[in-house]
Amino acid sequence: MWGIIATWRMAVEGITKADEMLKEGADAGDAIETAIKEVEDFPYYKSVGYGGLPNEEMEVELDAAYMDGDTLDIGAVAAIKDYANPISIARRLSHEKVNCMLVGEGAEKFAHKEGFERKNMLTDRAKIHYRNRVKEVQQQEIKPYSGHDTVGMVCLDTHGKMTAATSTSGLFMKKKGRVGDSPISGSGFYVDSKVGGASATGLGEDLMKGCISYEIVRLMKEGMHPQEACETAVNKLDEELKERRGKAGDLSLIAMNNKGEWGVATNIEGFSFAIATENEKPIVYLTKNVDGKCIHEVASQEWLDNYMKTRTAPLEEK
Ligand code: ASP
């Protein structure tokens, strides 16, 4: 059995590549890195890698993580600038015994020494988004932060090895140095080949309050199917946050166990995710939470066409 599951529609090209590799017996580490790089490299996805939206100071600071479910090795970078593929740097760091999570300048120094590709990650399109947002915030008092989508994946290869990985530019207009859940073990991702893995997208500050990826793996270890584990963890954290704080941020989670069974849960409308397994061709689903149960529907051709059209449409300065 093999399989790969990922947050958001933007992951489908990447998981299609990974699926082809996994079919041929590739390693879950190589497959997931290839899939995430595909998303990082695509300039029109404005929340990951090249073309990612900048922080308050108009700098693109990226977070990424990689975890090996066999050895439990973890590597992560946070607030790294000017490198093309944060996921590859995170994976490289996962081979280190210590110093495996590096931030900012330290991460950049490491990447430079290891010969990773340097790249100015701020595109003209992202600059327009930035300037438009600055104007909107001044004129309409809207929240500067809305607009964020992390790519997170869990992968199982034919040898039974599992991996998890994330990559993101974090919240649009975040403070310089702000780090979300995505590079944080247990919050943005977690995987154990003996059980399964999970990964998150949404409001990092709230996802971290529940160490929610670890919680899902823990529930799967207790015997829950990934779908039940995701729903249980998301509904519980959503309730706790509302009870204690009056509101809950966006929480969307994907998971897969070591049999290739998967699950997804969200507390928002219209969360999309992509999946490919030995039994399923790469496919995009949309999901919604109806009274605590998450219902997944295959995305229509019209939805898919519209998605690409809006992502690549010319962008005007407001
Ligand atoms: N979780 C990410 C963060 O808080 C953002 C996202 O998933 O959209 O940085």
pLDDT, one tens digit per residue, over 179-210 is 999 999 999 999 999 999 999 999 999 999 99
d(CA 171, CA 149): 8
Ligand 1 center–CA 9 separation, angstroms: 15
Q: Domain range for residue 86? A: 3-312
Domain contains 277: yes
Least confident of 153-157, 231-235, 266-270, 312-316: 312-316
Domain contains 318: no
Domain contains 308: yes
What value does the mean pLDDT take over residues 235-243? 98
Domain contains 236: yes
Ligand 1 atom at shortest distance from the alpha carbon of 148: 8
CATH number for 80:
3.60.20.30
Would you say 116 and 153 are in contact if contact means Cβ atoms under 8 Å apart?
no
**List of long-range contacts for 36-39, beta carbons under 8 Å, 24+ apart:** 36/64, 36/87, 36/151, 36/153, 36/165, 36/166, 36/167, 37/85, 37/87, 37/88, 38/13, 38/14, 39/10, 39/11, 39/13, 39/14, 39/151, 39/167
Domain contains 48: yes
- If one counts the domains in the chain, the total is 1
Catalytic residue flag (residue 150): yes
> Binding-site residues, please?
178-181, 201-204
What is the per-residue pLDDT for 139?
A: 81
Ligand 1 atom at shortest distance from the alpha carbon of 63: 9
Domain contains 72: yes
* Model-wide pTM > 0.75: yes
d(CA 71, CA 49): 27
Domain contains 115: yes
What tokens does 142 get?
């809207």
Domain contains 103: yes
> Binding-site residues for substrate, please?
178-181, 201-204
d(CA 77, CA 167): 9
Helix axes 12-23, 28-41, angle to 10 degrees: 150
Task: Report pLDDT digits (tens) over 132-141.
Answer: 888 888 887 6
What value does the mean pLDDT take over residues 143-164? 87
Check the CA dihedral 240-245-246-251 and report its sign.
negative
Task: Given the residues 7, 123, 150, 287, select the one marked as catalytic.
Answer: 150
d(CA 250, CA 116): 33
What is the per-residue pLDDT for 142?
A: 65
Q: Which residues line ligand 1 (CB under 6 A)?
A: 47, 148-150, 168, 170-171, 180-182, 201-204, 207
